[in-house]
Chain A
C-alpha cells in the first residue's frame, strides 16, 4: 500500500484527511487544507490519535511531542501543513 501512496501525492492528502475526519467526526470531504485543528474541534487526544493513525497508515515516525506541540519539529498549524510534512517523511523514507 505504501508504494501507491508514494506514487500519488493526492492519495496521501486524501488518506490524511480521512484519518483526521475520523477523529473529528466529520466527513472526509469536509476537511480542507486551510483548516486548523481548532476549526475541526480536535482536542489533544484526538490529535495524538491522528498522529498514530498517520504513522500506522504510512509506516512513518512522526516527531510529535504532546508536551510541547509547537516545538516538536512537526507543524500542526493546518491540515495542509500536516499533509506536506507527511509527504516529506514518505519521500525521505523512500530515498
Chain B
C-alpha cells in the first residue's frame, strides 16, 4: 500500500500566526480566549471567544484580490503558504496534475453571509457587492489554494461541522493511498466570530460565558474560536526520493456515524471511529502515547468521550495522556482538528504534550490523564486525534513518528 507522510505544516490561529509560534504557545499553556470584538457584541449573551488578533489582509494579499477573500479563505491561504514553503514544493506541470487540495470548513464564508444579510435586511439596501457568492462559497478556500499553488488534481471541500478538517485530511490520505494523487494540501479553516455566527451558537445553550475547561468538573461549555491549519500530505516514496523532511506519517483514519441524535453525543459512534482508525494504522491501543481529544468542554461531550476512550484503551487508559487544546485556541469548528493535529505533530516531533489549560477540578466522570495546565515532556511514537461532530459524524486520525 502507498504510504502517506506530512512534509509541511502551516497555521494561523488564535495562539499564533505560524506553526513555531503555535507550538511555543501550546508549550507555555497560553489561553487565547478573550473578549469578542465583533460588531453589536453588546447584543450577544456570549461575549468571549478566541480571535486571531493580527490578521492584516493588506500584509498578505494584493489589494484587488482582497474583495474575493473571506476571512476563512485568508486563514487557509496564509496557512498553506507556510506549509508549502516548509515542504519545499516546486511542482512541474506533470506533477501539478497529481497534486490536489481538500479542506474542511463548517461555516465557509459565514462572515460574508452575515455582512450581506445585514446590508439587505437591516440596512434595507437592494444591492450587494458582486463577489458575495465567490466569497461565501464553502469551496472558496480550496479553490484559492488550487490557484495559488497550481494544484490541478482533485479539489474539493468537506463540511461535517466540528469534524470537517479531520474528514478532509482523511480524504487526502485516501486519495494518495489509492493512487489518485501524490500530493494533497489538506486541513481546514473557520471564521465565524461575527454577530450572526455567534448568535446562532448561543441558541444551542452549550456555550460558556467565562472560559473553556475541558474535562474539568466545573466546566461550563464550549468557547468558539477562529483559525485553521494546512498540511502537505505526500506519498512517502516521493517525499523520500526528493529528500523532504518528514514531519510524521499519517497511518490511520477511521470514520463513523452515530445515527442516533443530531446534537447529543454518543459513545458507540466514536468508539467505532477510533477502533477503525487504529485497525487502519495496524496499531494496538497501547501503542498510542497521546490523544488529542475532541474535548469541547460541554458536560455531555467530555463525559461521553471519556467513556469511549475507556472502552478503546482499556487498561492502557491511565498511561495514555489525553488533552484538549480547545481550552487554549477555542473550538475552531470546521478548522479545529487541523490545528489540533499540530499538537499531535508537536508530541511526535518535539516530545512535548500540549496541556489542557483552565483545568481546576477532576471530574469522576472523566477519569483521564488530561495533562492538566502544564505541558509535559514525553516520548511518544504514535498519536490519535479525535473529532466528533454535531450530527453524529466522527473522524479520527492516527499519526506515527516518521520512520
A9 interfacial by beta-carbon distance below 8 Å: no
Judging by beta carbons under 8 Å apart, are B64 and A52 in contact?
Answer: no
Interface size grouping (class) on chain A: 10 to 19
In the assembled complex, which residues on chain A have CB atoms less than 8 Å from the CB atom of B131? 45, 49
Partner of A55, one of B64, B67, B68, B127: B127
A to B contact number (C-beta, < 8 Å):
19
- Looking at B63, B64, B127, the one whose CB has the most chain A CB atoms below 10 A away is B64
Q: Is A1 an interface residue (CB 8 A)?
A: no
Chain B neighbourhood of A55, CB < 8 A: 127
Q: Is A25 touching B63 in the complex (CB atoms < 8 A)? A: yes
Residues of A within 8 A of B129 (CB): 49, 52
Q: Are A49 and B130 in contact (CB under 8 A)?
A: yes
Contact partner of B64 (CB less than 8 A), chosen from A23, A56, A61, is: A23
Secondary structure at the A interface, as helix, strand, loop or mixed, is: helix
B63 — which chain A residues lie within 8 A by C-beta? 25
Closest chain B CB from A88 CB (angstroms):
19
Q: Which residue of B lies closest to A47 (CB)?
A: B130
Q: Of A45, A46, A56, which contacts B127 at CB under 8 A?
A: A56
Q: How far is the CB of B66 from chain A (nearest CB, A)?
A: 11
Minimum CB distance partner of A61 in chain B: B127
Tell me if A82 counts as interface (CB < 8 A to partner B). no
54-76 of chain A: CB within 8 A of chain B: 55-56, 61
- Tell me whether A46 and B64 are in contact (CB under 8 A): yes
User: Could you name 19 residue pairs across A and B whose Cβ atoms are closer than 8 Å?
Assistant: A23-B64, A25-B63, A25-B64, A45-B68, A45-B130, A45-B131, A46-B64, A48-B130, A49-B67, A49-B129, A49-B130, A49-B131, A51-B130, A52-B127, A52-B129, A52-B130, A55-B127, A56-B127, A61-B127
Additional pairs, 17, CB under 8 Å, beyond known A45-B131, A49-B129: A23-B64, A25-B63, A25-B64, A45-B68, A45-B130, A46-B64, A48-B130, A49-B67, A49-B130, A49-B131, A51-B130, A52-B127, A52-B129, A52-B130, A55-B127, A56-B127, A61-B127
Which 5 pairs show the lowest CB-CB distances between chains A and B?
A48-B130, A52-B130, A25-B64, A55-B127, A52-B129
